[in-house]
């Protein structure tokens, strides 16, 4: 990814406007082709590409947008990483869906949240369990992460696949995923996550 050296005020302005646009779209469930046309729009937008034009070519702007702030968007809406401060909305916290699937006595262990994929350690005061989560397109990554934990932990890891808005995971796909999870010795659960407003700062 070409690194664009920008004055802080311009970088902040560009990222704030960009994430406001992204936040108004169902970005996390859009296909690559659907996303592609927005890259062109944003490069031509005076508030985004117009401000970047003094520092980079249009081709490199596109690569920077795709491999920088837009690649990091999934982490940013979890409140993770340097781009998180620019988001206009974030996903509900893991505490919420953790208690939905395991019960109110379960909590995220402080300072245990990590990434690649998003994960944490949970406890009910007696037992600790590894939990990782992501959208349906991350299922393979979630399985690999959980299996790596399963070989060294006594408790069964949990994979959480979440949906957003009107997103639906076909029953046949869920059946296959459950079969894979069972074969690998991990638990699989599905949840619907909420969006929460966030003020960029």
Each residue's pLDDT tens digit, 115-158: 999 999 999 999 999 999 999 999 999 999 999 998 888 899 99
Q: What is the pLDDT of residue 5?
A: 79
CA angle 18–96–185, rounded 5-degree value: 105
- 8-33 pLDDT, tens digit per residue, is 999 999 999 999 999 999 999 998 89
- Cβ-in-10-Å burial (0-12, 13-18, 19+) of 37 comes to exposed
Mean pLDDT in the chain?
Answer: 93
Kind of pairing between the strands at 158-164 and 128-135: parallel
pTM of the model: 0.88
Residue 2 has pLDDT above 80, yes or no: no
Q: Nearest 5 degrees, angle CA 127-CA 147-CA 163? A: 85
Give the C-alpha separation, 132 to 113, whole Å: 9
Residue 7 reports pLDDT greater than 60:
yes
């Amino acid at each position: 990814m070409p690194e664009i050296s920008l004055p802080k005020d311009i970088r902040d302005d560009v990222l704030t406007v960009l994430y406001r646009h992204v936040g108004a779209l169902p970005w996390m469930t859009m296909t690559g082709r659907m996303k592609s046309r927005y890259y062109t729009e944003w490069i031509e937008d005076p508030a985004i590409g117009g401000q970047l034009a003094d520092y980079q070519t249009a081709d490199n702007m596109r690569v920077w947008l795709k491999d920088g702030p837009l690649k990091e968007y999934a982490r940013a809406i979890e409140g993770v990483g340097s781009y998180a401060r620019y988001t206009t909305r974030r996903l509900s916290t893991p505490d919420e869906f953790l208690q939905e699937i395991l019960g109110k006595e379960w909590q995220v262990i402080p300072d245990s949240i990590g990434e690649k994929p998003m994960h944490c350690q949970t406890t009910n005061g007696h037992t600790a369990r590894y939990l990782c989560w992501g959208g349906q397109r991350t299922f393979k990554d979630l399985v690999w992460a959980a299996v790596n934990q399963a070989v060294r932990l006594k408790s069964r890891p949990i994979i959480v696949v979440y949906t957003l808005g009107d997103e639906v995971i076909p029953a046949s796909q869920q059946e296959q995923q459950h079969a894979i999870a069972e074969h690998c010795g991990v638990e699989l659960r599905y949840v619907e996550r909420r969006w929460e407003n966030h003020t960029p700062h």
